[in-house]
Structure 1
């Protein structure tokens, strides 16, 4: 990744996932984010963060924002696109925010002018219902605290599912394969390592529906189904080439 960032033309825009990477579930560590920021600063790139799952990785809004804040603390200019579809359950409302951190008040004024120029022709009057729900939640301390507690519960449930799936895979796989990547990945998704043919076997034989590159959504998995999923993965992994 660092090599690709170095190879990009100076001043390029780089799309980065702030947390709970989709589709891999593989987030850089704080130390790795610092190294990424070093190269971006050196190359004068503009980071554009996609933050769609804030709170769903660690359970903490602040911890999941640490990647973005690493760049802001360095004084870098950047874009942050936030979505509330997932973490506030506002699907179909298409509610989110674009945040731009600028180097000076003058730059901020010019960027704001350009954003208005882009938004106005796209839709003059966007729906306001979802935005009002977000404003009510984040603007009320008690509702905001309740929301944060619910996100912590959601993230904790997914972590428990990861642990159960790892335990079942380790128990059923007699080859000694290391399945610990299930635990080191984070957020709603996981790359299982299954190829296209193996993913098809998951669907056709086991009726487990997933993308053909081996990605599964752990948010849709219950603790009761982890053992069944582990059996399906092991069968597909070892018996289908």
Structure 2
């Protein structure tokens, strides 16, 4: 009997969006959302960056702006600014790079997976364990021919980066041309990042084994408040893999390439505008035209061409010295509030002498922290205390504020005793 559309099994709800919906439907006066990866101010309200407000004002007062279609690759002035931001101006000017505007970081990840699955055809894609949950779905849909492998990333017992496990697995199991997903900074969901020395060791390994580095950069500037520091790992990889060898003269000496999925949701607060970029860096400039033509073909088939307004906002901010300075101050405001909430939450939890060591709240970085709470404890937080977080125990620190930090700490300690 032929299969009908009615025979399609129902997929489970996406956890992140389901939690947001359940939180909104909850009428409890003390409810708290620690699940959504969005910045909130001290009153748990959405915050429009001052630099973004000013850019919008400028755009709305510019009388000769139109709403015509962008080219398939997107807004070129935005792409130049985005590439400069992640690679640095000097490297961006000399790198053999192909850039496309995408539907935020998810679109960049998907375009990259589809392109690499079709053209590079790696045997494996290695993804950190744990990772942003959408990485697996993106590669399942975009590159079903590529085997997904996990590499150790987090030591759950010590609440620290498992760098030795990461290195030993990639060294022993990754093969030439395999793709490895790396979080540029502020690892989601653990908040545990490699040190600069560890990034240097990784870059040497990638060069030696000719692995393809796929950076997911969603938090540049948001992690530490410093866009240069947060872009360091990507820039070091680009220089190590392609900046110090003449791939044009000796192509066999270089890895197959590297790429970056770049999101402007978090660091510009443009969540709903879906502004992103994909950058493919190749060993030789002679490879660029063919690669670009294939990427344009993928974009044409999926979205035809990207949206305009959000890209104009980012380009306006990054191209104006005054607005750029305003934006960098906005980043410091957001990152410093997150850092303060980490400290306050740790202090509030550890007021209970039986709470144990919560130093991980301050040693980890960025929006997210792995609490170490079990799925049963997370469920109790939701059902008894109306506190919403991911089943794996990840919390978004942006949902913590001075008004609810004590309530959250007491709830965490209560479920930890169960």
Same fold at TM > 0.5: yes
Q: 1:36 aligns with which of 186, 194, 202?
A: 202
Which residue does the alignment assign to 1:13? 179
Which residue does the alignment assign to 2:349? 169
| Higher alpha-carbon deviation: 163-172 or 1-10 | 1-10
SS at structure 2 position matched to 1:87: helix
Which residue does the alignment assign to 2:367? 188
- RCO higher in structure (CA 8 A, sep ≥6): 2
Give 1:228 deviation, angstroms: 1.4
How does 1:152-167 map onto structure 2 within 5 Å?
Answer: 152-167=332-347
TM-score, reference length from structure 2: 0.55
How does 1:91-170 map onto structure 2 within 5 Å?
Answer: 91-170=271-350
Deviations 1:62-109 (A, max 9, x none): 111011011012134310110111211212221111112222221233
- Note the aligned Cα RMSD (angstroms): 1.4
SS at structure 1 position matched to 2:268: coil
Residue 218 of structure 1 pairs with residue 383 of structure 2: no
Give 1:47 deviation, angstroms: 0.4
How does 1:201-240 map onto structure 2 within 5 Å?
Answer: 201-239=380-418
For 2:281 and 2:306, the matched residues in 1 are separated by: 24
TM-score, reference length from structure 1: 0.94
Which residue does the alignment assign to 2:241? 75
Larger gyration radius, structure 1 or structure 2: 2
Q: 1:25 aligns with which of 156, 177, 191?
A: 191
Structure 1: where are the runs of 5+ without partners? none
CA contact (8 A) 2:381 2:388 kept: yes
Structure 2: where are the runs of 5+ without partners? 1-165, 243-256
Deviations 1:27-57 (A, max 9, x none): 1111111122122222110101000111111
For 2:288 and 2:392, the matched residues in 1 are separated by: 41
